Amino acid sequence: MPEFKVGTLKASGLESTLIFQSVSTNIESEESKVKDEDGNTAYVQHYDHKAVLTVDAVAAKDQAQPCKGATVAIKGVVLPTVNADGSMTSSTITLLSDASNGTPVDFLVETSNLVSSNSEVCKYSLTLTRYLENGIGAIKTSSGA
Mean pLDDT of all residues in 24-31: 89
| 114, 32 Cβ separation under 8 angstroms | no
Any domain includes 92: yes
pLDDT single digits (tens) 50-62: 999 999 988 777 7
Distance CA 130, CA 52 (A): 7
Q: In which domain, by residue range, is 35 found? A: 6-131
Phi and psi at residue 67, in whole multiples of 5°? Answer: -110, 160
Any domain includes 122: yes
State the amino acid at position 64 in one-letter form: A
Counted domains in the chain: 1
User: What local confidence, expressed as pLDDT, does residue 139 receive?
Assistant: 45
Any domain includes 45: yes
Any domain includes 139: no
Any domain includes 145: no
Distance CA 101, CA 114 (A): 30
> Which residues touch 69 (CB under 8 Å, ≥6 apart)?
11, 108, 109, 139
pTM of the model: 0.77
